Amino acid sequence: MALLDTVKKYDSVALLLQGGGALGSYQAGIYEGLHNAGIKIDRIMGISIGAINSALIAGNPHGKRLEALRGFWDKITRNNYSPKGVNPFRYTRKTLETLDHIDLYGHAMPYIFENDFLKQQLRVAESSFEAFRTMLEGQRGFFKPRGFIPFDATPNHLSYYTTDKLKETLAEFVDLKLLNNPKNMKVSVGAVNVRTGNYTVFSNETMELTFDHIIASGALPPGFPAVEIDGDYYWDGGLVSNTPLDDLIDSPQSINQLIFQVDLWDARGQVPENLIGIDERIKDIQYSSKTRYATTVMKKRHTFNHLVKELLKHIPEDQRTAACFKEAEAMTSVGFTNVFQLIYRKKAFERGHKDYEFSSHTMYEHWNTGLDDIKATLRQEPWFEMSTNGEIFEQHDIHKVRRYSYDNDL
């Protein structure tokens, strides 16, 4: 209860969702934790799969948002053609787990049933198999391979997969009237204009959002086709910036903001030891989109404007006649911004295909990881308090606390 009272002191509570394909169920787990804690979001901004999750949340009444998220993710983690249970590596791993509980086997062959390396390799193979199957079949209600891939056509037909079914799936789980009500929740999604190369923000505060705007935000080429909107074609916003925090940098700074920034890619990682690892590391660096840099820019701007306010105090009001003083005074209204970074940490079994490994098994692991991370974050109640020592910008990351605790235990 004390936490909710603290959160209510903020003028705005925002949820920012990066793009990252199959990793997006981590964001669903984050939202479930916020929802269960009673924290209400009034602004949501997303890119790619983050835009889809944004639509699922904002496009439903408060009491039905989790149901919509679960329904969508359950649907798209089914394969288009092959049966759900066809994965020999998952079957083998589950069989070993079952036999391990039978003394006759477990005690007789501990070198097999207690072999963590074997279990780990089976999980790696299981995940790789599911990613390969996604490449061949696509995912039900989301995307599927084209029967014929044209070499020369309009941009909305140039891709390896078609996302025609995604609009039907969104229509099943998203109410456009609610999505377009900024009083319910302010919604923004990012895309890239193919012709100009400019990053574009579609917002329900300035236009009427359609499913095309949501799909355009996740139209990553050459896998998915560009989406035509008002005569222009759009691709995935992550091509320019996969971090929607950029959109908040230019927002009014006079309000007190609580921001939950959910990133699916971690810029920090291990140096690759093989060619496969290079592909994964490139994705991590590229799609993390300098998330820490964007946060630093936002902090520096807040700090700069606050310093201008302090400097103006030393100039008598009767001497502030030049136009530049009026512009400077307009910059000085700075509220308190509190950013919570929730960055997905890859599982040991995941490889460079983690963004298109859509199995329901892995999806639930991502979801539960997000739920665990936000629960741990919400237990840090002092983090939510507004600063009383003059600070105007603070950042928090539950993983830093975990690393510190781990290092101290060693």
Total residue count of the chain as it appears in this document = 410
Residues 73 and 304: their CA atoms lie apart, in Å, by 43
Residue 96 CA, distance from chain mean position: 35
User: Which residue, among 56, 70, 74, 22, has the nearest Cα to 170 in the 3D structure?
Assistant: 56
Catalytic residues: 48, 236
Q: Sign of torsion, CA 80 346 200 150? A: negative
Q: Which helix or strand (DSSP H or E) is residue 46 part of?
A: strand 43-47
DSSP 62: G
Phi and psi angles of residue 314, each rounded to the nearest 5 degrees, phi first: -90, 0
- Which residues are within 8 A (CB) of 59 and not within 5 positions of it... i.e. 6 or more apart? 68, 173, 174, 175, 176, 178, 179
Look up residue 245 and give its two tokens: 């925090």
Q: Which residue has the tokens 């009034």?
A: 42
